[in-house]
C-alpha cells in the first residue's frame, strides 16, 4: 500500500532545505516558449544557476522523551519517566526577503528548540521561528542577515498540467540538488498532509530532505513549496506534492503580520457532488459544492444561501468540489465581496458573499457518500428510533430530536451507501423528519426502485446520503 511521507526526516543524515523568496511586488509567472531541445537545456541551466543561491539548508533540534520504563528501585507497578534527549533533523525552504525571512514547512521546524540555517555559500546563521501554521503546513523562519539572494515569486494559478518545473533542495543530505520534471496535476486535495490542501503534483524527483524547498518554473519563478511524497518505500517514485506559491505566500504574509493565518470562512457545511447527487439536484456536471448546513449569521446565510443549494462558480471560476470552495473562500480577504453562481432546484441564481473571518478552532470536514447495491426496500436492514434525551446521552449525539440510526445490517444497500449507526435523519426526500412517526409515513410508500435521499447529522455535520434502489 502506498504511503505518504513528509519530505524531511528527524534523523541526522537528512538535510532540511530552505529557499529564499523575493519580497513584495516581484515578477509574476508568465508564459514561456522553448524552440528546441538546446534552448530548453540552456534555460534549465540558467534557472538552476539563478535559484540555487536562494536555496538554504536548515538543521533543527527538538527535545523528545522515550517511553517510560520500570525501575527496580521504585515500588512495584511504578514507572520512571526518562530524561528528555535531543533529536536532530534537516530539510528545505526559501528566503522570502533579502533581509532574512525564510519560508519552509511547519513540519520542518515544529517544536524546534534550535534552528540553524546554512546558505548555499556555506555561511551559517541561527534561525528564529517567527510563526507556524499547521493547517497549511507553512512556517516562517528569520535570520539576522542582509543582502541575501532571493527567488522571485510566481503565480501558481497559471500552472498547467505538462508545464516544466524544477525541484531544488537538499534531498538525503545532498545539498544544492536540482531535479527536473513536469506538473502532473493541480488542485490535489485529501492527501492527508494539512487541513487546507490544494497541492501541485509533480514527477520531478524529490526525496526526504526536500521539505520546504523550491518548486520553480523554467523562468526561475517560485510556484510551489515542496512538502510531501507518496511512496511505498519513502523514496521518490515520481509522485510529489507542493503547496502552491499563492497559498504559501498568503499564509506567510499573514504569519509575519499577525503571528497567525487569518482566513475567510463560508459559514456553511458542504459536500462533494457524486454522479447520483448530480442527477438528483439536476446539475449539468459532476462538480460543485452542495450546501448541507448553514451557520446562523454566517457569510453564507447572509448571502441568502439555503440548504441544498449547489455552488458551481466563485467569481466566475468553476468550483470543482467542497474542498476547492473552502480554499477559495479561505484565501479571500476578510470583508471582500464575491459573486457565487448557484443552482437551486435546477435553476441558476447568483448571490453576493461577504467573507467573514474563520473561527479560531479547527474546521470540520464533511465527506460525501455514494449509493450502490440494492435491497427489497432502499432502507431495508436499518433500525431507526426516536431521538430522546436519554438516547442522545447514551449515543453521544449532538442533537436531541429526530430519528437516529441505531443499527444497520452489514451488506445492506443503506450501509454500502454510507449510512452509519449514530446518524440522525433530518430529512427524507427533502421533507423534514421530526420523529419516527413522520419518518415512517415518508418511508413506507418507497418502492424497491425508488430513491431515498437522506439528510443526516453526523457528529455535528450535516450531509446528504442518496440511497438508490434498483
* Cβ atoms 215, 223 nearer than 8 A: yes
Q: Is 107 a catalytic residue?
A: yes
CA 124 to chain centre: 33
SS3 per-residue string spanning the chain: CCEEEECCECCCCCCEEEEEECCCCCCCCCCCCCCCHHHHHHHHHHHHHHHHHHEEEEEEEEEECCCCEECCCCCCCCEECCCCEEEEEEEEEEECCCCCEEEECHHHHCCCCEEEEECCCCCEEEEEEEEEECCCCEEEEEECCCCCCCECECCHHHCCCCCEEEEEECHHHCCCEEEEEEEEEEEECCCCCCCCCCEEEECCCCCCCCCCCEEEECCCCEEEEEEEEEECCCCCCCCEEEEEHHHHHHHHHHHHHHCCCCCEECCEEEEECCHHHHHHCCCCCCCCEEEEEECCCCHHHHCCCCCCCEEEEECCEECCCHHHHHHHHHCCCCCCEEEEEEEECCEEEEEEEECEECCCCCCCCCCCCCCCCCCCCCCCCEEEEECCHHHHHHCCCCCCCCEEEEEECCCCHHHHCCCCCCCEEEEECCEECCCHHHHHHHHCCCCCCCEEEEEEEECCEEEEEEEECC
Out of 17, 92, 97, 137, the active site residue is: 137
Max CA distance (Å), the chain? 78
Give catalytic status of residue 345 as yes or no. Answer: no
Annotated catalytic residue 417:
no
**Catalytic pick among 156, 211, 254, 417:** 211
Q: Exactly one of 29, 107, 156, 341 is catalytic; name it.
A: 107
Q: Which grid cell is 425?
A: 435523519
The set of catalytic residues is 107, 137, 211
Amino acid at each position: 500500500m502506498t504511503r505518504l511521507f513528509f519530505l524531511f526526516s528527524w534523523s541526522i543524515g537528512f538535510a532540511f532545505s530552505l529557499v529564499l523568496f523575493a519580497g513584495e511586488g516581484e515578477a509574476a509567472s508568465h508564459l514561456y516558449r522553448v524552440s528546441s531541445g538546446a534552448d530548453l537545456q540552456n534555460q534549465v541551466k540558467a534557472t538552476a544557476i539563478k535559484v540555487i543561491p536562494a536555496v538554504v539548508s536548515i538543521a533543527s533540534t527538538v527535545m523528545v522523551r522515550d517511553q517510560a520504563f520500570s525501575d527496580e528501585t521504585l515500588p512495584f507497578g511504578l514507572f520512571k519517566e526518562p530524561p528528555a534527549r535531543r533529536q536532530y533533523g534537516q530539510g528545505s525552504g526559501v528566503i522570502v526577503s533579502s533581509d532574512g525571512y525564510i519560508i519552509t514547512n511547519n513540519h520542518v521546524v515544529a517544536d524546534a528548540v534550535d534552528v540553524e540555517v546554512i546558505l548555499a555559500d556555506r555561511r551559517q546563521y541561527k534561525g528564529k521561528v517567527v510563526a507556524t501554521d499547521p493547517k497549511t503546513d507553512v512556517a516562517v523562519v528569520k535570520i539576522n542577515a542582509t543582502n541575501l539572494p532571493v527567488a522571485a515569486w510566481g503565480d501558481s494559478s497559471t500552472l498547467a498540467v505538462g508545464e516544466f518545473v524544477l525541484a531544488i533542495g537538499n534531498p538525503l543530505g545532498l545539498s544544492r540538488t536540482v531535479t527536473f520534471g513536469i506538473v502532473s496535476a493541480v488542485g490535489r486535495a485529501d492527501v492527508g498532509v494539512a487541513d487546507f490542501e490544494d497541492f501541485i503534483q509533480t514527477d520531478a524527483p524529490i526525496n526526504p530532505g526536500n521539505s520546504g524547498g523550491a518548486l520553480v518554473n523554467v523562468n526561475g519563478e517560485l510556484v510551489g513549496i515542496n512538502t510531501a511524497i507518496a511512496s511505498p518505500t519513502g523514496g521518490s517514485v515520481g509522485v510529489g506534492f507542493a503547496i502552491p506559491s499563492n497559498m504559501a505566500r498568503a499564509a506567510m504574509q499573514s504569519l509575519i503580520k499577525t503571528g497567525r493565518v487569518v482566513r475567510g470562512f463560508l459559514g456553511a457545511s458542504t459536500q462533494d457532488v457524486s454522479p447520483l447527487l448530480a442527477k438528483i439536484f439536476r446539475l449539468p456536471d459532476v462538480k460543485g459544492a452542495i450546501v448541507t448546513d448553514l451557520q446562523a449569521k454566517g457569510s453564507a446565510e447572509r448571502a441568502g444561501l439555503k440548504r441544498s443549494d449547489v455552488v458551481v462558480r466563485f467569481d466566475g471560476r468553476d468550483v470543482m468540489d467542497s474542498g476547492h470552495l473552502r480554499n477559495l473562500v479561505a484565501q479571500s480577504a476578510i470583508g471582500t465581496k464575491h459573486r457565487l453562481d448557484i443552482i437551486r432546484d435546477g435553476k441558476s441564481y447568483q448571490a453576493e458573499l461577504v467573507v467573514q473571518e474563520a473561527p479560531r478552532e479547527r474546521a470540520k470536514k464533511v465527506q460525501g457518500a455514494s449509493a450502490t447495491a440494492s435491497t427489497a426496500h432502499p432502507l431495508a436492514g436499518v433500525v431507526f428510533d426516536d431521538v430522546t434525551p436519554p438516547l442522545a446521552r447514551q449515543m453521544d449525539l449532538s442533537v436531541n430530536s429526530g430519528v437516529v440510526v441505531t443499527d444497520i445490517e452489514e451488506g445492506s444497500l443503506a450501509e454500502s451507501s454510507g449510512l452509519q449507526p449514530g446518524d440522525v435523519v433530518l430529512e427524507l426526500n427533502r421533507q423534514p423528519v421530526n420523529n419516527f412517526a413522520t419518518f415512517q409515513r415518508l418511508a413506507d410508500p418507497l418502492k424497491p426502485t425508488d430513491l431515498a435521499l437522506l439528510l443526516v447529522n453526523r457528529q455535528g455535520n450535516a450531509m446528504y446520503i442518496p440511497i438508490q434502489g434498483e
